[in-house]
Amino acid sequence: MIILTGGAGFIGTNILIELNKRGEENILVVDNIEGTLKVKNLKGLKYREYVNKKYFWDWLLKNKSIKIDSIIHLGACSDTTQTNLNYLRQNNVVYSQKLWDLSVENDIPFIYASSAATYGNGSNGFSDEHSLIPKLQPLNPYGHSKQDFDLWILKQKKTPPLWVGLKYFNVYGPGEAHKGKMASVIWHFLLQLNRGENLKLFDASHGYAAGEQERDFIYVNDAVKMTLYMLNEISESGIYNIGTGRARTFNDLANTIKIKNRNIRVEYIPFPYRLMDAYQAHTCANLDKLFSLGYSEPILTIEKGVKQYLESCDLFRAY
């Protein structure tokens, strides 16, 4: 059995879809779907059971005879504006440490989600080499919580037979509607178009002209391929970047939106002062370590990725 935490979330749902395509249904989905749109993500998918994350540890005690094959830990508080440090520590560090210990105890692979937020303003680069990780300076409490767990991992003497931390960059694609303000810029573009508005981007900031701030945008299908490659194809534990290796501007992203018979316009809005010191104006994954493992799947450009996204999106079909 595979334990998939965050299995009703954005990346988790797409992992579950791909596992189903590969014939895998013996999956325990651990999440909290109560009062959220995430319940829609699980519709039509096949898995052994859903367990609320609050009751997961009790479930384990009652099901000791079930053999666990691996853990894919994607569940976390992913709100980059969250300021409750204790909440972040309990969800992103302590819960993860307990799952690590479970993997060690059962001698099974442990895959977990780190984040590109750990790189901060990029002054220390975007390399996932372990020797550089302690030098990173995240810009917000969320990034610090992910960094704290990465650093804790690197100090452990007892480890699972395989462990992999994945620093996801800006992932976009189907299954993110429940994320609200934390959903991708593309999703917010679609909402704006649906309301008859212009596409909204930040004005000049951090030394970049309006809309010229850059991110490494990766389509969720590519992120899923990389994640499952780590689980099934490698034997070298470590922390790895999950991105495209290309930085693209938000203006580039806006230019991928093509709707027949509609003139798409961009509106630049003032950059929020409260985010000035906590915003990543540039990210770009260094993928040397990933490629050194033999990963060779083609990675979609934002032009191709957004096209696939829009073709699968009900909001876009309305046009």
As annotated, the active-site residues are: 142, 179
Helix 185-194 and helix 302-311, axial crossing angle in degrees, nearest 10: 50
The residue length of the chain stands at 319
Question: What 3-state class would DSSP assign to 281?
Answer: coil
Q: Specify the DSSP element, H or E, that contains 56.
A: helix 56-62
Count CA within 13 A, CB hemisphere, residue 19.
Answer: 27
State the Cα–Cα distance between residues 242 and 116, nearest whole angstrom. 9
| Residue 141 CB coordination number (10 Å) | 22
End-to-end CA separation in angstroms for the chain: 42
Asked if 118 and 143 count as a contact pair (C-beta separation under 8 A), the reply is yes
Parallel, antiparallel, or unpaired for β 110-115 and 266-269?
unpaired
Asked if 109 contacts 163 with a C-beta cutoff of 8 angstroms, the reply is yes
| CA angle centred on 143, ends 28 and 27, rounded to 5° | 5
What is the C-alpha separation between 51 and 33, in angstroms, rounded? 10
Cα 200 from chain centre? 23
DSSP at 205: B
Among 52, 23, 47, which Cα is nearest to 36's? Answer: 52
> Cα separation of 69 and 229, whole Å?
16
